[in-house]
Structures are given as C-alpha cells and as structure tokens.
Amino acid sequence: MLMMASAGFGLAELGKANPGTLWEKSSWLVSHVPWVGCSPWDLIQPAFMFMVGMAVPLSYWKRQERGDGVLSMGWHALSRAVLLVLLAVVLSTRSADAMTNWVFTNVLAQIGLGYFFLVMLWRMGPEMEVSAILVILVGYWIYFYQYPLPAEGFDWAAWKVKSEDLLGGVMAHWNMHANAAGEFDRWFLNLFPRSETFEFNTGGYQTLNFVPALATMLGGSLTSRFLARSRKSMAMKAGLLVGAGVICLFLGTMLGLFVCPVVKRIWTPSWVLFSGGWVLLMLAAFYWVVEVWGWRKLVFPLVVVGMNSIFIYVMSSLSRGWMSGALKAHLPDGWTSGFWGPVVEKCGVLAVLWLLCFWLYRQRAFLRL
C-alpha cells in the first residue's frame, strides 16, 4: 500500500526529465511494463490481492468462533464485495467526467468482484480451493485460446497498440484489446449509461481480470491456512514458502514461454503463477525477519499503514493533487522544482499520508468495510 501511495517516489518523472542518465534507465523499476513481462512495480497488485486472500481465513475464523453461521458470513462477504466495487467506481469517476465512469479494473473493484467467491470457496475447504485454482487457470486459458484472431491487415494503430507489443503465433490470442476479455468488455461496459461507446481501455486492462485474480487470492488463503495451522517450526515454514515460490516462478516462466504470455494487464494464467512465486518469496523474507528473528519493530511503519489500508488508498486517490499543491506552496522555493523536485513532492505526499495513518493508529481508529 505504501508503494501504491508513493506514486513511484517521483523516480519515473526524474528519469523522464533526465534522458540518457542512470535515472532514466532505472525508471522501469517504478513503472508498469507495456504488455509482456514484469517489473517490481507490477508486483504491487498481486501482492495486495494475495494478502486479501491471506486475511480471509483469519477474519472468518474469528466470526466462526463468535457463532456466525453460513448466512451471516455470506451476507457480510457479499455486502463487503458490493461496497468495494461501488467505492472503486466512485474513485474512478473524476470531477471532469460528465457522468459515472462505470469501469471495474480498479484494484478495489477487482477485489470486490472476486471477494464473495473467495469466501465461499474458503468455506468449502483447501481441496476445493486447490481445485478452483486449477479450473480457473485452465478454463481461462481455454477462454482466450478459443477466441478468433483478427483478420490479416487489422488496423492495430486505431486501437493504439504499438507494433513492438504485438504477439504472434499461439500467443496472438493474448494481444492487447483483441482478446476474449476485451470483447466481453465491449459488450458488458456498454450496458451501463455512458457518455460515449466503450471500445477499449487504453492500458489493456479488463473487467474479467478478477477471475484469474481470484486464483491469486485463493493462493493467499491456502498460504494463510498453512502458516496458521501447520505445526512445523517457523524456520521450516519459511523454507517451504521459499520452495513454493521457486516452483511457482519456474512454472510461470515455462507457461510464459510455451503456453501463454506473462501479462499482468490481463492477468494471464502464467502471470498468476509467475507473480505468485515472487509474492511467496517476498512473504518468506518478511516471515523470516518478523517471525523467526522477531524483528517486529522493523516493520512498524508498515503496520501503521496496513491497519488503515482503505483509508490511505482513498486519501491518496482523492487528495494527492491537493497535497502536492500545498507542499509546493509551503515548502521553500526550489524544493519541488529543482533536480530532486519530483522526488521531494511524491515523498512529501507519502509522508503526509503516513502521518495521517499514524495519527489514526494512535487513536485506535481504523476504517473498515
């Protein structure tokens, strides 16, 4: 969440302002890849969705202990899912828009669309969760593979697709916009009132991403079960997380080479495994530092934000522009306009957001849906 709220720490803007320098060459670290591949910044959303999956068993075990039944927990999951989707739509609609911007590619909408199914599958047990992951990955691959390819001579430029991003052969079924999920959005999103007909999302993101992303969240749920209920030592658990991460990375890479490309923007099955492998490795590192070594104070800044993740996300979406303007007005001349200006501005906004979360943490005030 801190990474999301940081807006890349201003490093991408620093790279653009200084072409040919190390800053430009390293700016990919805080940028999304155009289509195929992965940068560290692309791992933010899968990590966040994986952690949502990890939180579900912990949350609903508590509800079971206090006596909540199937209907009560089902209603809670459904209402939370609807609220997340509606909040995402509100945040996606800007003041300049003529009407509500009905899009569902926002991370909150993606979580909301899959959340109810996540909770219901968790209730059915780990075997059902594993089965669901396999069905999702195979079924989603078939769904894309069976979609017909565009005719020869198709005008890709009209859809703002660069030639270097085009895929050939079997992989062409996963080209930007001209894929099964893109066709679904051209039908589905035009069912909502719009100021103009929806044709494509410029970045290639699709509503149906929530389906394979559900597999990511189910992976988090299974991991949470393992960490909470396994009697293995903490060191052994960390080692098994590393092993699982390496296996997922290998499988995701192999699928990316021979079955379907590794594309975060449409959450391909290979992306589920590839990104899941990295997330498991990151989790293993944090688990070792926090649980095995006991360095809990080291991650306190992350805890402050994690306890109010919805708050910092909403504040970042709604108030970033105002905070940037206020910093420019109140900081000494040149601080936000010099060489390090973008970094000072973005990190300054992040510091303000963190301090707000810290104040709420001290007040024991937490925004939840």
Residue 141 has pLDDT above 80, yes or no: yes
pLDDT tens digits along 174-183: 999 999 999 9
Average pLDDT over residues 323-347: 88
pLDDT band at residue 210 under the 50/70/90 scheme: very high
Total of domains in the chain: 2
Say whether both 13 and 69 belong to one domain.
no
> What one-character-per-residue DSSP string does 323-348 give?
HHHHHHHHSPTTTTTSTTHHHHHHHH
* Number of helices (H), then strands (E), in the chain: 14, 0
Average pLDDT, the chain: 93
User: Would you state the pLDDT for residue 272?
Assistant: 98
Do the domain assignments include residue 162? no
Of 230, 354, 227, 247, the residue nearest 303 (C-alpha): 354
Boundary residue ending a domain (239, 264, 294): 294
Highest mean pLDDT among 56-70, 130-144, 287-301, 316-330: 130-144
Mean pLDDT lowest among 64-78, 174-188, 279-293: 64-78
Domain C-terminal end among 239, 265, 294: 294
Element (H, E) at 235: helix 234-258
128 and 260 in a single domain? The answer is: yes
Question: Are 126 and 89 in a shared domain?
Answer: yes
Task: List, for residues 244-265, the tens digit of each pLDDT value.
Answer: 999 999 999 999 999 999 999 9
> Does position 213 have pLDDT exceeding 80, yes or no?
yes
Q: Taking 80 as the threshold, does the pLDDT of residue 311 lie above it?
A: yes
* Domain stops at, among 241, 262, 294: 294
* Angstrom distance (rounded) from CA 269 to CA 133: 10
- Both 203 and 265 in a single domain? yes
Q: What pLDDT does 20 receive?
A: 87
Evaluate whether residue 164 is within a structural domain. no
Lowest-pLDDT choice from 88-102, 234-248, 281-295: 88-102
Range of the domain at 237: 39-148+170-188+199-294
**Same domain, yes or no: 114 and 228:** yes
Q: Does residue 156 lie in a domain region? A: no
Kindly state whether residues 353 and 276 are assigned to the same domain.
Answer: no
Q: What is the pTM of this model?
A: 0.93
pLDDT tens column, 317-332? 889 889 999 988 888 8
Same domain, residue pair 8 and 59: no
- What confidence tens digit (pLDDT) does each residue in 37-54 have? 999 999 999 999 999 999
Tell me, what's the pLDDT at 95? 78
Q: Do residue 246 and residue 263 come from a single domain?
A: yes
pLDDT of residue 256: 97
pLDDT band (50, 70, 90) for residue 338: confident
Q: What is the pLDDT of residue 85?
A: 96
CA 51 from chain center: how many Å?
A: 10
Q: Which pLDDT belongs to residue 108?
A: 94
* 186 pLDDT tier (thresholds 50, 70, 90): very high
**Selected residue with higher pLDDT from 117 and 331:** 117
Residue 33 lies in a domain: no
If asked whether residues 364 and 270 sit together in one domain, one would say: no
Query: Residue 98's pLDDT is what?
Result: 78
Mean pLDDT of 148-163: 91
Which residues, 6+ apart, have CB-to-CB distance to 81 below 8 Å? 112, 113, 115, 116
Q: Is residue 314 part of a domain?
A: yes
Are 140 and 288 contained in the same domain?
Answer: yes
Q: Are residues 211 and 357 in the same domain?
A: no
**Cβ–Cβ < 8 Å for 313, 108:** yes
Asked whether residue 212 is assigned to any structural domain, the reply reads: yes
Task: Say whether pLDDT at 168 is over 80.
Answer: yes
Report yes or no: 33 and 264 within 8 Å, Cβ to Cβ: yes
Q: Is residue 193 part of a domain?
A: no
Q: Is it the case that residue 96 has pLDDT exceeding 80?
A: no
Note whether residue 82 is domain-resident.
yes
pLDDT grade for 333, boundaries at 50, 70 and 90: confident
Task: Tell me the C-alpha distance between 321 and 252, whole Å.
Answer: 38
Identify whether residues 104 and 176 lie together within a single domain.
yes
